[in-house]
Amino acid sequence: MTEPGTLAYGSGGTLHVMVDAEHYRIDPGDAQALLFSGRAAPVLQVRVVRDGSAPMGRTTIEGHAAVTGGGRAVALHTRAGSYVIPLVSFQRVARGEAASAPLFPLLQEGCYAG
């Protein structure tokens, strides 16, 4: 069984979130604000749009990442779904100590996964 998604460390401290065919990012300043002040961080994606005949990249906010209420995990909510990663794993990737860490599907309260 493959993991549903991955959080990976990128150049300049950018965090990359890969879920299926979707690729998102969390900028370094936003990741620091998330870890040190608990502020939710925007999850960004570059979308290709056409301006006349030339394709252009446009960065859009496609979700957010926030520390969970218990403070032990980070929840990532995107258009591709909702995922959770242990806070310790998120911190290790954000500091560049680990190259990547798996994401786990987040089941909403009251949902039956059977």
Q: Other C-beta atoms within 10 Å of 28: how many?
A: 14
pTM for the whole structure? 0.84
pLDDT surpassing 60 at residue 111: no
Angle between helices 87-94 and 28-37 (to 10 degrees): 140
Stretch 56-72: mean pLDDT, rounded? Answer: 91
- The reported pLDDT for the residue numbered 50 is 72
Judge residue 64's burial from the number of C-beta atoms within 10 Å of its C-beta, 0-12 exposed, 13-18 middle, 19 or more buried: middle
Name the nearest CA neighbour of 9 among 30, 25, 32.
25
